[in-house]
Amino acid sequence: MKKSVEIPDCHYPTEPILVPPSSPTPNQRLYLSNLDEQRFLRFSIKYLYVFRQAVPIDRLRASLSDLLVHYYPLAGRLCPSTGNGTGTDRLEVDCNGQGAVMVEAFAGMGADELAESWSRPNKSWRKLLYRVDASTIPLVVQDRQMEFGDKNAVEPHA
């Protein structure tokens, strides 16, 4: 049986940045549905996308900025509800256009080497996830260059 690949720590050459929508978006608050309000459903979801060709970080940043115009709630923040006597247990999305956190990272392995380890879950994959201050609950996008700069891994948290 093939041994799992150990993922190296990521190197972050720059500080994370906020990427705002490229044009104005509605400034409003959106209530979450009753289903979204279930406490047992309050968790973050992490995805890792690996692309065959590297994409310049500036292009990813511009694309994210354009995308946030159409999906503007993702540029906002989760916050306690402010009205209707429902108390502060309910959450809503403050569509304030603050933007998504984007961070650039480098991993010391190639994307093909990483793909070889996908057949079995591996706890060291967590090293590829950027840790964000959960008190602000933003969308986070991390661009990770694999060794040799041959492929990008983009990881949105929601």
Give the pair of three-digit tokens for residue 60: 């990813």
pLDDT attached to residue 88: 55
Alpha carbon distance 148, 7 (integer Å) = 16
pTM for this entry: 0.74
Distance separating the N- and C-terminal Cα atoms of the chain: 35
Q: Are strands 140-145 and 100-106 parallel, antiparallel or unpaired?
A: parallel
Higher-pLDDT residue of 88, 111: 111
Q: What pLDDT digit, counting tens, does each position of 49-104 carry? A: 776 677 888 998 999 999 999 999 989 988 888 766 555 578 888 999 999 888 88
Query: Are 142 and 131 in contact, with CB atoms under 8 Å apart?
Result: no
Give the pair of three-digit tokens for residue 84: 């209707």
How does 66-84 read in b/e, with b if 16+ C-beta sit within 10 Å? ebbeeebbbbbbbeebeee
pLDDT at 140 over 60: no
CATH superfamily of the 17-157 domain: Chloramphenicol acetyltransferase-like domain (3.30.559.10)
pLDDT attached to residue 148: 47
Say if residue 50 is exposed, middle or buried (CB neighbours under 10 Å; 0-12, 13-18, 19+): middle
Least confident of 130-134, 138-142, 147-151: 147-151
pLDDT at 123 over 60: yes
The residue extents of the domains of the chain are 17-157
On average, the pLDDT of the chain sits at 77
Alpha carbon distance 114, 151 (integer Å) = 11
Q: Residue 158: pLDDT band by 50, 70, 90 thresholds? A: very low
